[in-house]
Structure 1
Amino acid sequence: MKPLDPRLLRHARAARRYIVTTTVTGAATAGLVVGQAVLISLALAPVIAGEAGIGQVWPLVALLALVVAARGLVLLIQEALAHRAATRTIIELRRQVLEHAAALGPRWQAEHGPDTATLVTRGLEDLEPYFTRYLPQLLLAATVTPATVLVLFTQDWPSTVAVILTIPLIPIFMILIGRMTVRLSTERLEAMERLGSQVLDLIAGLPTLKALGREEGPARRVRALGRSYRLATMSTLRMAFLSGAVLEFITTLSVAIIAVEVGFRLLFGQLDLTTALLVLMIAPEAYQPIRQVGFHFHASANGVAAAETVFEVLQTPAPRRGSHSAPDLSRATIVITDLSVVSRGSLAPHGLSALIPPGRITALVGPSGAGKTTTTQVLLGLLPADEGGVSVRLPDGERVELEQIDPVSWWAQISWVPQRPAIVPGTLLDNILGESRAGEPDGRRPVPEALEAAARATGLTEVVASLPQGWHTVIGQGGIGLSLGQRQRLALTRALVSPAPLVVMDEPTAHLDAASEAHVLDGVRALSQAGRTVVVIAHRPALIALADEVIEVTAGGAAPDCSAEGDGRDRVDLGAASGGLRRAAPPAEAASRPGPDAAREEDR
């Protein structure tokens, strides 16, 4: 990133305001620095020469005190504005990255999700030194240094020549050292992203690794990445200390040259004492901002590297979004026409054509990797189709393409039930109805009758009865305190209470035993009886037998034999045509409730 990258000003409004205020405070600082040097020289020279006493220069001393106080006040304002601007800019960039990452879709998130999570948490925090240290000094170098050099030129041009000849030494060494610092900072950010990604993956799969006794291998990998990150950080700090020492040496040597030159000229009577003091006071101020830019560049290099990554994310083109309002899905038919999506080097799904009628249960079936989840992502408007597409057909025959529909209005009519539902810390009731309203006594909000009826339909009432505080029992992040089956019942109840006419489910009976599966099937049946359109990814025969329509999804044009059985009496004909749509047999009661001989899976 450039010292003052226009992209930062374009993406962060707080940064633009901060630049304006910092420019004003920088100009004020330049004026106060020059005024302070002039007052010191005018006050000290007569006293040292014996031409005046302390009482005679007292007005100058009082004015000097006011200038020093004003300079301190400007510095205080600058620091306060810098910290506020840094915090607001980080918040703005974090929000934009999250929103853009969500707009890029699940495929991009699956590839870059861990790196992005590290970026928006620890990575962006490194921008604070850039705003609080580096950027103010950069603007001071653009205001204070020219002002002091101009004053020197009006008072003593030989000293000005010395300053002009020695000042370029600082940028030259800054460039030489800065190139290495940027490389080290980039390596540090990459090491931090690798470490963050590995830790997130380890946390996500820790229960499985622990169950298989394989947690030691990833732990060693995390320790190795931690050492790599520590070494990269120490390399950056070592370079910062060394560069600081080099810049300090160059500045000290340059000021010493001017001091010696002024001293000899003062000794030989070629310079008066007032001008000599003014030169000695102003010369260090000319070097100070540039030296501080080089010194604080290393503190801000990590933030600059993070900002570069932010801009890479924000400049990634997102899929085009429509602007038409979504039609009423309770009466519309969803039409899938020759849908193909490129996935892992093949088409999954491939050439899928089907109808999803309103108010019915439609099951997506097929082997693993056929593209069932990808199909639901296209239906949800999260993933664009590479070939074909999805449209909505209204009762009057009018059709609207999904890519032309505003995604916000589309999502407002959809309830999504994944395998692992999103459950936030809070009470069971809050997770269904939303956050508790302010002003309700003890946070005990009443339970609506519609929720009670939905809970009875999904079997959630049994879960509520087993909890110590019923609906007001607090559960943890991700549903800690509930089993997988209980979490699915919670998600189904939430979908049943929701007014969304379309409910999309991703294998809601996966990892459940027979009893929990029966409750989930009851919830799916209740959704259908409520007139909702249900699209469900299904593998188990009982869930397939419950469906009114069955869509076979295949990859690469293949048509594997995916026939499934219900209870042994009714067979669901999935057909052999790729992407075919078949009418399912009427589900029998026994098919929706597996018997004792059915294979049971642990309700983890």
Structure 2
Amino acid sequence: MSRSPERQILGQSPAARALGMAAVALQVAAAMCTCAQLLLLAYAIDGVFMQRGRDLAWAAPALGGAAALVAVRAALVWLAEWLAQRAASHLKRAVRTRLVAHLLALGPRYTAAQPGGALVQAASEHIEALDEYVSQFLPARQLAAVVPLLVLALVLWVDPLTSAVMLFAGPILVLLLALIGLKTRDLTERRFEEMRWMASYFLDMLRGLTTLKLFGRSREQAANIAAIGERYGSTTMDVLRTAFQTSLVLEWGATAATALVALEVSWRLLEGMVPFQQALAVLLITPEFFLPLRQLSLKYHAGTAGAEAARRIAGILAEPKPAAPASGQNPPQGPPALRFAGVRLAYRAGSQPALDGCTLDVPSGKVTAVVGSSGAGKSTLASLLLRFAQPDAGQILADGVPIDQFDTAAWRGCIAYVPQRPHLFSGTVLENIRLGRPAATMDEVVAAAQVADAHRFIAALPQGYDTPLGEDGARLSGGQQQRVALARALLMDAPLLVLDEATSHLDDESEAAIQRALADYAQGRTVLLIAHRLRMAYSADQIVLLERGRVAASGTHAQLLEQSPAYRELVARYEEQNLCA
């Protein structure tokens, strides 16, 4: 039987579970101290006011014991709350660590398919929602299950008739709480969905702010954000309104039940059917029966929010990781010869495959350029080669060995990769380039930057290589970001170089300079060049034309011009676009 999402998340930290159980045990002990204190007070009051010949001196031991129990109870409650907070901290740390590790294992294919901001919310707001869930709601829920039973057993020993009234009222209050909780759960789920949508929409708007300004649509989008925010606020108020209603109903029910007990006990006391000490003890203890249920109603909102957060986090953790390598053997040390053998991949079930029976060879130590129209499957080759995705059919081999037999980290360490849209972190230029090889010397960093035609503009920055770039390389232009990313890849000195439209943001002069530098750098390396700008492909040792996920033709530039009408048409369109530009 599969565990609930809440249990799955709580199972991430055994330490948090142990601390939480200890906190509940201390809270139960504190509740029993309260009951014992009230019994002592009833005994003392009955002795002083109802029994002749007894004074405060006689009651001093009982009153002293009650005072000591007050101090013990306060200490137990403080320690229980401290342990509950520690449990929440342990769980949040464990879940955040597990979530980040799982996202890294899932890779960019999964993260790119998620709505913008959703994963950030899961790692921040959803995990923070577990704080009150663990430190407040769970202890309150367990106390509501245990303490009323213990109090009921005590009242059954003191006054069996009153225990029957409690046994009737308690389940009714629990039923009311459960019925209202169903509505709260639905509203909380809707609130989380509204929050996810608002965060994703806002992030998308910020990323496209330049475009919105250019087309004069920024005011319209601001109005949309306001409308989404208003809808989210309305949903939040619905949740809070339901939470307040829950508390009100439970307070009213508990007060009515306590009043019923008071009427029943008072009537029997006046009729002489029950002694004063017994009646007073029951009246003092009865509120302790309903107190855990009232406290649970106050924490119920935190409980539903935490449960929904746990469900969403558990949904991410349930995503299957890419298959682990069968043997984990070491990849080839030299430039590998690659073969894509009948590779098929569809990103979604039932959709048009990005690659459909694709078979091509990438010779060792040679430059192979892959060209084709947009959507032909060029970038999918790089994704599969880096093992960010697994083919639905077929194999990819390096020197005759399927790449899924290699240790994943070791295989990726053999590949220097520059994607279409490289990401730069908010550190310095030097830190970003050294991601390729952290132990590289400054001379090696500069040499890689020179090959990537990046050294001149880096040296002109205010602090040179120590200049902070800002988030996502905000201080640099698109072409400069691409050259820094290229320098980072070249610094790896890997035997296999994969360039996915790595010069798409460069001017013709920079592209030509990089092309000349790469011609020297590529000596003795296997290079897979995914080219949108065909000029980079013309000098390749082999050009492969993809159409609809399959190889349509292959050969040198001259051979394809002579033999492939599709390639001639592609070149003609490219040259025409350049001429118009």
TM-score (ref. length: structure 1): 0.86
Give the structure 2 partner of residue 375 of structure 1.
381
Q: 1:436 to 1:457 in 2, by over 3 A?
A: closer
Paired with 2:435 and 2:294, the residues of 1 have a C-alpha distance of 54
Q: 1:13 to 1:402 in 2, by over 3 A?
A: farther
1:246 CA drift (Å)? 0.7
Give the structure 2 partner of residue 554 of structure 1.
547
Give unpaired runs (5+ residues) of structure 1: 394-398, 438-444, 581-594
Q: 46-55 vs 251-260, which deviates more?
A: 46-55
Give the structure 1 partner of residue 334 of structure 2.
330
Paired with 1:337 and 1:368, the residues of 2 have a C-alpha distance of 22
1:316 CA drift (Å)? 2.8
Paired with 2:475 and 2:8, the residues of 1 have a C-alpha distance of 46
Q: How does 1:390-405 map to 2 (within 5 A)?
A: 390-393=396-399, 399-405=400-406
Paired with 1:39 and 1:184, the residues of 2 have a C-alpha distance of 46
**Aligned partner letter, 1:285:** E
Q: 2:261 aligns to what SS in structure 1?
A: helix
Retained in 2: the 8 A contact 1:514–1:598?
Answer: no
Give the structure 1 partner of residue 572 of structure 2.
none
**Aligned partner letter, 1:58:** A
Q: Deviations over 1:296-321 (max 9, x none)?
A: 11232122112112222222333322
Give unpaired runs (5+ residues) of structure 2: 568-574
Q: How does 1:464-503 map to 2 (within 5 A)?
A: 464-503=458-497
Give the structure 1 partner of residue 571 of structure 2.
none
Give the structure 2 partner of residue 396 of structure 1.
none
Percent identity between the two aligned chains:
32
Paired with 2:301 and 2:384, the residues of 1 have a C-alpha distance of 45
Q: Deviations over 1:501-560 (max 9, x none)?
A: 33322211112222332344355335414x44332221112211243332222215584x
1:499 CA drift (Å)? 4.1
User: Higher helix fraction: Structure 1 or Structure 2?
Assistant: 2
Q: Deviations over 1:67-126 (max 9, x none)?
A: 222222222222222223223323333333333344344443333243333333323322
Q: 2:34 aligns to what SS in structure 1?
A: helix
Retained in 2: the 8 A contact 1:454–1:497?
Answer: yes
Paired with 1:23 and 1:510, the residues of 2 have a C-alpha distance of 61
Paired with 1:600 and 1:123, the residues of 2 have a C-alpha distance of 51
Q: 1:25 aligns to what SS in structure 2?
A: helix
Q: How does 1:194-233 map to 2 (within 5 A)?
A: 194-233=197-236
1:234 aligns with 2:242: no
1:340 CA drift (Å)? 1.6
Q: Deviations over 1:448-471 (max 9, x none)?
A: 222222222222220222112212
**Aligned partner letter, 1:353:** T
Paired with 2:413 and 2:395, the residues of 1 have a C-alpha distance of 21
1:53 aligns with 2:46: no
Paired with 1:233 and 1:66, the residues of 2 have a C-alpha distance of 44
Q: Which of 66, 91, 101 is equivalent to 1:99? A: 101
Paired with 2:57 and 2:314, the residues of 1 have a C-alpha distance of 61
Q: 536-545 vs 169-178, which deviates more?
A: 536-545
Retained in 2: the 8 A contact 1:126–1:300?
Answer: no
Paired with 1:164 and 1:316, the residues of 2 have a C-alpha distance of 45
Q: 1:562 to 1:224 in 2, by over 3 A?
A: farther
Q: Which of 37, 46, 66 is equivalent to 2:68? A: 66
Q: 1:175 aligns to what SS in structure 2?
A: helix
Give the structure 1 partner of residue 293 of structure 2.
290
TM-score (ref. length: structure 2): 0.89
1:301 aligns with 2:294: no
Retained in 2: the 8 A contact 1:321–1:405?
Answer: no
Q: 105-114 vs 320-329, which deviates more?
A: 105-114
Give the structure 2 partner of residue 146 of structure 1.
149
1:540 aligns with 2:510: no
1:155 CA drift (Å)? 0.9
- How many corresponding residue pairs? 568
Retained in 1: the 8 A contact 2:529–2:537?
Answer: no
**Aligned partner letter, 2:359:** S
Paired with 1:446 and 1:501, the residues of 2 have a C-alpha distance of 17
Retained in 1: the 8 A contact 2:342–2:358?
Answer: yes
Give the structure 2 partner of residue 589 of structure 1.
none
Q: How does 1:98-497 map to 2 (within 5 A)?
A: 98-114=100-116, 115-323=118-326, 324-343=328-347, 345-393=351-399, 399-434=400-435, 448-497=442-491
Give the structure 2 partner of residue 584 of structure 1.
none
Retained in 1: the 8 A contact 2:250–2:293?
Answer: no
Q: 1:11 aligns to what SS in structure 2?
A: coil
Paired with 1:173 and 1:162, the residues of 2 have a C-alpha distance of 17
Q: 370-379 vs 96-105, which deviates more?
A: 96-105
1:227 CA drift (Å)? 1.4
Retained in 1: the 8 A contact 2:444–2:491?
Answer: yes
Paired with 2:580 and 2:40, the residues of 1 have a C-alpha distance of 89
Q: 1:136 to 1:480 in 2, by over 3 A?
A: same
Retained in 1: the 8 A contact 2:544–2:555?
Answer: no
1:172 CA drift (Å)? 1.1
Give the structure 1 partner of residue 20 of structure 2.
19
Paired with 2:356 and 2:57, the residues of 1 have a C-alpha distance of 95
Give the structure 2 partner of residue 81 of structure 1.
83
